[in-house]
Structure 1
Amino acid sequence: MTQGEPAKGRDSAGQPPRIFGLELSLLDREQLIEELLATPRAPDGAKLLATVNVDHVVTLRTDQRFREAYDSAWRITVDGAPVYLYARASGIPLPGRVTGADLFASLIDRWDPAQHRLYMLVANEEAAARMTRRLAERGYDETTLTIEVPRFGFEKDAAYNEALTARIRAKAPTHIILGLGAPKSEIWAYEHRAALGDAFILCVGAAIEFATGLKQRSPLFMRRVGMEWMWRFGTEPRRLFHRYFIRSFGFILAMLADRPGTAAVPGRRD
């Protein structure tokens, strides 16, 4: 590197480059997994891992609480292929996409009940039962694994959330996994971060349903070329039509409004 040349992954002012006001992690998937598996960790509060995709970018433009959740995130990885291509075109040297589904699929086979205590909030009882069976095969029991299905609208019930966060804190999990969809998962994690103890928080969307066989993930070749969305639309057209063919135009507006490398949006990065 010549004198005056910015370090790799930083702009001329020495600041990490950003898109959409987000400071992206430059770690590849294996490096991030190693961080997530590392124990023991010094007490330093809940650490939210966010995985940004097109729908998240669109939501960030209008939902202030979602923006605040992202601003507080410990790591932000790129999930969606269009976001990845835009980041690379903006000069951010990402090693590749790191999706929530891929991370969860790797972690579920590497979590160790001797080191890692898991607390999961999932969308339905069948997902809870299947995930319990799968992790029991790896040695998890009621002392190291808790899976709950929160009731509908729980995020708006202060008393319920106070009791829920107390249950989570009492279990002292190393990892809290939220499979409740965005932006609900990220906002809930942000709003209750002070009550959750020292844990990694992963918002993984449909990854739990993929891992339990409740939903079938796209073939690997479609994931590799960034076309997983087509598979998902084909399996859930009614639910996903508006997201993929109406809301997604907001991503174009976000790119037009974005200026890579401009003033940083405040946020915590440890």
Structure 2
Amino acid sequence: MIDVAQGKRNVLGVLVDVTDYASATARIVEAAREQRAFAVTALAVHGVMTGVEDPAHNARLNSFNLVTPDGQPVRWALNLLHGAGLTDRVYGPTLTLKVVEQAAAEGLPVYLYGSTQPVLDRLVPALQGMFPALKIAGVEASKFRAALPGEEVEIAERIKASGARIVLVGLGCPRQEVFAYAMRPLLDMPLLAVGAAFDYHAGLLKNPPAWMQKYALEWLWRLGLEPKRLWKRYVLLNPAYLGRLAAQKAGLWKATAPEAATAPVHGFAV
């Protein structure tokens, strides 16, 4: 059995947790029970590279309470660089279901923030079909614009008034991480940046075959589904990630991890 309590490890300057589904779910649900602010994201290659390319965002990511290795290449990096011994990634959509399952079992209401209203209209019955005991405290679609002055407080008040104990945030990377970082000081509950989980569980995106997921070929599947939107992400960022990973392993590049950001975020996207 591997030790999943190794804490955070440096992957290209982004601090990623050595964790598995059970440990990650337990930490999130514990924070929900204790009504404690707790920011979570699951990072694949694209998520890590957003930090590499933007030092301010890197520092923001490094302030998160929990950053899971969403993609196989991120898991491989933890094993290669730090001997983590992880046998599986902690994939955002799967982690979402595990957290929702436990929330349903314990009666912890969930708030869904992000995506579009048509997606949410499909997602809510899908989740309730999987977990009949699930309490959905509120649903709020993305406005696809920058937040207005003071709007973060209004959003936080709506979420708190709903009785929610966990917030799932589906705004896409890096908008969802910026949102979760900005909202964490205002909410005494976990905020999970869950990426494409809303689309997957609403039945709008199909997961690739298990063998593609195992061998880190999920990017190829996604590229085939959305080539115009995703080609730059995968064609340019994947080689850059591998190059920097090799340089970090060989000691040719020192991947410094910026200190956790503490300043409030203004003008984030909602």
How would you bin the TM-score normalised by the shorter chain? 0.7 to 0.9
Q: CA RMSD in A?
A: 2.8
Q: Which moved more, 1:207-216 or 1:251-260?
A: 251-260
Query: How much does 1:104 deviate?
Result: 1.4
Q: Which has the higher helix share?
A: 2
Residue in structure 1 matching 2:142, options 107, 126, 150: 150
Between the aligned partners of 2:32 and 2:201, the Cα distance in structure 1 is 27
- Aligned ranges 1:78-89 → 2 under 5 Å: 78-89=69-80
Q: Secondary structure of 1:32's partner?
A: helix
Q: Secondary structure of 1:202's partner?
A: strand
- Aligned ranges 1:53-68 → 2 under 5 Å: 53-68=44-59
Any idea what the Cα deviations from partners look like across 1:132-187, whole Å, max 9, x if unmatched? 2234441445xx4211102121x432243332122112224221111110100001
- The answer on 1:69 being equivalent to 2:60 is yes
Between the aligned partners of 1:58 and 1:262, the Cα distance in structure 2 is 12
The higher radius of gyration belongs to 1
Report if the CA contact (8 A) 1:17-1:92 is conserved: no
Classify 1:51/1:41 alpha carbon distance in 2 versus 1 (closer, same or farther; 3 Å). Answer: same
Alignment correspondent of 1:101: 93
Alignment correspondent of 2:259: 266
Q: Which moved more, 1:250-259 or 1:109-118?
A: 250-259
Alignment correspondent of 1:32: 24
Classify 1:42/1:109 alpha carbon distance in 2 versus 1 (closer, same or farther; 3 Å). Answer: closer
Aligned residues with identical type, % of pairs: 23
Q: Secondary structure of 2:103's partner?
A: coil
Between the aligned partners of 2:8 and 2:170, the Cα distance in structure 1 is 30
- Aligned ranges 1:252-263 → 2 under 5 Å: 252-255=242-245, 258=248
Q: Secondary structure of 1:173's partner?
A: coil
Q: Secondary structure of 1:217's partner?
A: coil
Report if the CA contact (8 A) 2:14-2:52 is conserved: no
Alignment correspondent of 1:208: 198
Moved over 4 A (4+): 7-10, 259-265
Between the aligned partners of 1:133 and 1:16, the Cα distance in structure 2 is 36
Classify 1:94/1:190 alpha carbon distance in 2 versus 1 (closer, same or farther; 3 Å). Answer: farther
Q: Secondary structure of 2:84's partner?
A: coil
**TM-score, with structure 1 as normaliser:** 0.81
Alignment correspondent of 1:90: 81
**TM-score, with structure 2 as normaliser:** 0.81
Q: Match of 1:178, as an amino acid?
A: V
Gaps of 5+ in 1: 1-6
Q: Match of 2:110, as an amino acid?
A: L
Alignment correspondent of 2:160: 169
